[in-house]
Copies of this chain bind each other. A is one copy, B any other.
Amino acid sequence: MESGPPVARHFQDELARLKERLLVMGGLAEERVRTAVAALVNRDPAAVEEVLAGDEPINQLQIEIDGRAFTLLALQQPIATDLRTIVAGLKINSDLERVGDLAVNIAEAARRYHMLPPVKPLIDLPRMADIAQGMLRDALDSFVRRDVALAESVLTRDDRLDELKTQIARELLIYMLEDPTRIEAALTLILISRHLERIGDHATNIAEDVIFVVSAKDVRHSFGADQKS
């Protein structure tokens, strides 16, 4: 009872390793978003360039993780929860790669923004970034820990992100109307808020995958329990 047969143990080790690599990738993606937003706020061109030039580690990880997931599917032929976990891992891998792309989009927008007269102190955008990063982190943690409550809390926070996005657009529209010289900069900030919203969408996708992975298992568990009684 201490451990399964060697193949099963190996499989669980490999599955744990897949999750671990996804956490590493999530950490990288989150870090890139943080750097991009800090570069925007601090008008830091070196940090902008750092984000623009630093896509490679995430791209490499994406290929590695896809390879791990396919190997597990092909060689171990998992079913039920393990199967759903690996497929979720593949989807999460795509989501995280796109978060990395969105960090690039934010850095590109920051570069444009820095060439324009500033509109206003940036307060709500960093707030959106904090929420989006927290959602991403918790969505990944909920995957690794199979924590449905945490995944559900991610879904709830998406509404807050939408509210902030709407509030930012409304406020910046007023700036645009009051002073046409600010139009381009304000437009750039609105587009950045959309990029941050999409990071929240990716976190939401991940959280939904987690709920599917775990809740479909629970349904089968209760079905199994019924059969036994």
Considering the complex, give the chain B residue whose CB is closest to the CB of A74: B79
The residues of B that contact A222 with a CB separation of less than 8 Å are none
Count residues on chain A whose CB falls below 8 Å from chain B CBs.
24
A176 to B188, CA, bound (A): 14
Expressed in whole angstroms, the minimum distance between the Cβ of A166 and any Cβ of chain B is: 12
Q: Does A153 contact B (CB under 8 A)?
A: no
Considering the complex, give the chain B residue whose CB is closest to the CB of A181: B177
Cβ 8 A contact of A183, one of B77, B83, B90, B177: B177
Q: Does A194 contact B (CB under 8 A)?
A: yes
A83 to B191, CA, bound (A): 38
- Contact check, A180 vs B176: say whether CB atoms are below 8 A apart: yes
Considering the complex, give the chain B residue whose CB is closest to the CB of A172: B187
Q: Is the interface of A mostly helix, strand, loop or mixed?
A: helix
Of A77, A184, A194, A205, most B-chain CB atoms within 10 Å: A77
Of A80, A83, A84, A187, most B-chain CB atoms within 10 Å: A187
A126 to B167, CA, bound (A): 29
Could you give, for residues 85-126 of chain A, a 1 whenever the CB lies within 8 Å of some chain B CB and a 0 otherwise? 001001100100000000000000000000000000000000
The residues of B that contact A176 with a CB separation of less than 8 Å are 176, 180, 183, 187
Q: Does A168 contact B (CB under 8 A)?
A: no
Beyond A187-B190, A194-B194, 19 additional pairs, beta carbon < 8 A: A70-B83, A70-B84, A70-B87, A73-B73, A74-B79, A74-B83, A77-B77, A90-B90, A91-B94, A94-B205, A173-B183, A173-B187, A176-B176, A176-B180, A176-B187, A177-B180, A177-B183, A180-B180, A183-B183
The 6 listed contacts between A and B (C-beta, < 8 Å) are A70-B83, A74-B79, A90-B91, A91-B91, A169-B187, A173-B187
